[in-house]
Amino acid sequence: MKLQAATRYPLTVEKATIEGSRFNLIFALSTVWFLAGACLDAWAHSHLARLETFFTPWHAVLYSGFLATALVLLGVICFNRLRTSSWREAIPAGYELTVLAVAGFAIGGVGDMFWHIFFGIEQNIDAEMSPTHLFLMACGCIFLASPYRALYHNSGTTLQGVQRLNLVLSQILLMALPSIILTSFHPLTQFWPTYVPTGDNKGQSLAVVSIYFQAVLVTGYALFAVQRWRLFPGFFTFSWGVTAIMMAVLGDSVLSVVIASLAGLLTDVAYAWLRPDPSKQLTNYRLFAMCVPMLLFLVYFLVLQFATPTGVIWTIHLSVGSIVVSGLLGLLLTYLIKPPVIQG
């Protein structure tokens, strides 16, 4: 009987790629440079009397920071390509849209240069409404939100170790650029209750609208995180406090950090007490959504009252009413996210 030699098949060994928690952390840290440039650029547009050229030191920080972030993404994709069968597989999970946003930002940067050459340099609110700036802001928000998006789709409800750090950094990145964009309209850079008098109806109306708008925005960020993860102590204190550092730079007051940190601490306490879970404790979830903006603006008015030279010059009616309505807006937001169940 003749025995045939066994056929030997080569063993295939999968090569590890860079993605997941490791890459989320690398990418989040790489954007710090870019965010510093965005903050400097916003400061220059609002503080300097006249900007005459596109080629400024703050633009250098902004675009070199963007280049560093883009190179991190491109370098990891090229590294992963050596270990995968296609370029699509080489893109870290959750960063597919980021590639387009980075390319769009590069194109928008060139467009912004020509816009400034032909139409001049924008000042104050014009800088927020410029078409090329709006395009750059949209692309910037997309790639800054990438670590959050990746974590949202590729993690469990309970985070441990480096994932917790990733979530805090991702939350800061998610909130940072919109906060910078809204500098001229943000309550943490415009302390409206200390200088807009009672007789100025238009000024007070604008101030109240800015408070309500920020109430919806902050509550939306908080509920988005609450619905997806079991948050850990200090999440709101740290993420709000760090984000407010940029507001302190743009608004020339450290009170922004004090307000955000204290409000974040109280929100952490409210979260630990209520344990909001929309799938189990819908009532607590709605109460928490009320607490988030009410605690923020309660601290806001109290700090401004006791830590500024003029104190709060608004009437008690407008001050307390602004706090209450901000809480009602947070509550109403939950009915859009989690509407009542219709029986039958």
227-257 pLDDT tens trace? 989 999 999 999 999 999 988 888 888 999 9
Look at residues 138, 300, 278, 276 and name the one whose alpha carbon lies nearest to residue 212: 300
Lowest mean pLDDT among 21-35, 196-210, 260-274, 284-298: 21-35
Q: Rounded to two decimals, what is the model's pTM?
A: 0.84
What's the Cα-to-Cα distance from 51 to each of 10, 125, 249, 255, 281, rounded to whole Å?
65, 14, 19, 28, 53
Q: What's the pLDDT at 276?
A: 93
Q: What's the pLDDT at 11?
A: 44
Q: Is 26 exposed, middle or buried (0-12, 13-18, 19+ CB in 10 A)?
A: middle
**Of residues 260 and 84, more confidently modeled:** 260
Lowest mean pLDDT among 188-197, 217-226, 277-286: 277-286
Structure tokens given for 113: 């240069």
pLDDT tens digits for range 273-321: 999 988 888 899 999 999 999 999 999 999 999 999 999 999 999 999 9
Q: What's the pLDDT at 124?
A: 64
pLDDT at 23 over 50: yes
Question: Please, are residues 272 and 233 in contact by the beta-carbon 8 Å criterion?
Answer: yes
State what percent of residues in the chain have pLDDT above 90.
38
pLDDT at 112 over 90: no
State what percent of residues in the chain have pLDDT above 70.
89
C-alpha span between 42 and 133 (Å, rounded): 11
Task: Please give the mean pLDDT across all residues of the chain.
Answer: 85
Q: What's the pLDDT at 13?
A: 44
Lowest mean pLDDT among 30-39, 123-132, 292-301: 123-132
**Residue type at 92 in one-letter notation:** P
The string of DSSP letters for 98-109 reads HHHHHHHHHHHH
Interval 175-188 mean pLDDT: 83
